[in-house]
Copies of this chain bind each other. A is one copy, B any other.
Amino acid sequence: MNTFEDLGYCKVDVQRESRTGFPEVIFGQGKTVAQIAGIFDRLLSHHGKAMVTRLGPGKAAQVMAAFPEARYDAGARILCQGGAKARFAGEVMVLCAGTSDLPVAEEAALTAEWMGCRVRRRYDVGVAGIDRLLAYRDEIARASVLIVVAGMEGALPSVVGGLTGSPVIAVPTSVGYGAHFQGVTPLLTMLTSCAAGVSVVNIDNGFGAAYQAAQIMRLVNEGAPHAAALS
C-alpha cells in the first residue's frame, strides 16, 4: 500500500496523521489556486479537515468558491475547514511585543487552536514598558507552553524565558526597518538569548511554533510513548 497519493505536481502524504499525530498542512505560497484546491480536496477527504497557510486574500477567495464551508482569516492569512475534535488540557500562551506583530501572533494562535490547543493571547507587551509584561507574570508562570512573537529587536523571549519553567518557542517577525533586516535581527537575538529553554523558528513562522506547541500539548495529554528497549 502506498503512503501517499500522487497528483503529479504533488504527492499528498495521506499517512502523516497516523505517523505523526497531525495531518499535512498546505503551504500556500508559490502554489497555484488549482494546486491548492486539489490538495485541499484530497486532505479533506482523508482527514475531514484541512488548512492552508500563507494564503493571500485574492487566492483565498478563489479557493473558497470551491469550498464554501472553509473559513478565512485575512490577518493570519489562514484558510481552514474542520479542526481538532477535542481540546488538550493545559494552555498555550501567545504573547507578542507590538501591535504590528499581530498577524504572526494570530497565525500561531489560530493554528494551535485548529490543532486542538486552548490559547491565551496577550498582545503588545514589549519590554520597553516592562510593567505591561509583568502584569501577566502569574499567567506566564502557569502556561504549559509559551509562543513569544516579536519584531524590532526581539528581546521579549529572553525576559519571558526567565519568568517560566515551561518551554518557550520564539518567533521573530519581519516588523521593523533598517538594521532589522526583515527579521534577521530578532532571529539572531532569540538564538543567542541568555535565557535557557528558548528555541526558535523561522522569521514570521507562527505556524511552525504552533505546530511544535501542539506536539508538546499532545505529549502532555497522551503521556510519553512506551520507548523501545535500549539496545
In the bound complex, what is the Cα–Cα distance between A2 and B144 (angstroms)?
27
A184-221 residues at the B interface, CB under 8 angstroms: 184-205, 207-209, 211-212, 215-221
In the bound complex, what is the Cα–Cα distance between A102 and B192 (angstroms)?
19
A82-121 CB contact bits vs B (8 Å, 1 = yes)?
0000001111000001111010000000000000001010
In the bound complex, what is the Cα–Cα distance between A29 and B178 (angstroms)?
13
Say whether A124 contacts B209, CB under 8 Å: no
Say whether B227 contacts A158, CB under 8 Å: no
Say whether B196 contacts A211, CB under 8 Å: yes
Say whether A20 contacts B189, CB under 8 Å: no
A141-193 residues at the B interface, CB under 8 angstroms: 141-145, 152-155, 158-159, 161-167, 169, 172, 174-193
Say whether B192 contacts A153, CB under 8 Å: yes
> How many copies of this protein are present in the complex?
8
Say whether B100 contacts A19, CB under 8 Å: no
In the bound complex, what is the Cα–Cα distance between A227 and B89 (angstroms)?
9
Say whether B202 contacts A178, CB under 8 Å: yes
**How many residues of A are counted as interface, with CB atoms below 8 angstroms from the partner's CB atoms?**
117
Say whether A25 contacts B196, CB under 8 Å: yes
Residue of B nearest to A125 (CB): B11
Q: Is A30 an interface residue (CB 8 A)?
A: yes
Say whether B154 contacts A189, CB under 8 Å: yes
Q: Is A128 an interface residue (CB 8 A)?
A: yes
Say whether B218 contacts A219, CB under 8 Å: no
Q: Is A228 an interface residue (CB 8 A)?
A: yes
Residue of B nearest to A159 (CB): B127
Q: Is A58 an interface residue (CB 8 A)?
A: no
Q: Is A81 an interface residue (CB 8 A)?
A: no
Among A40-48, A60-68, A130-138, the stretch that binds chain B is: A130-138
- Can you list 5 A-B contacts with CB-CB less than 8 angstroms, sorted by A residue number? A127-B155, A129-B162, A177-B202, A191-B202, A196-B207
> A138-B228, A155-B194, A217-B224 are known contacts; what are 7 more A-B pairs with Cβ within 8 Å?
A9-B102, A27-B98, A97-B194, A127-B155, A153-B194, A185-B191, A188-B189
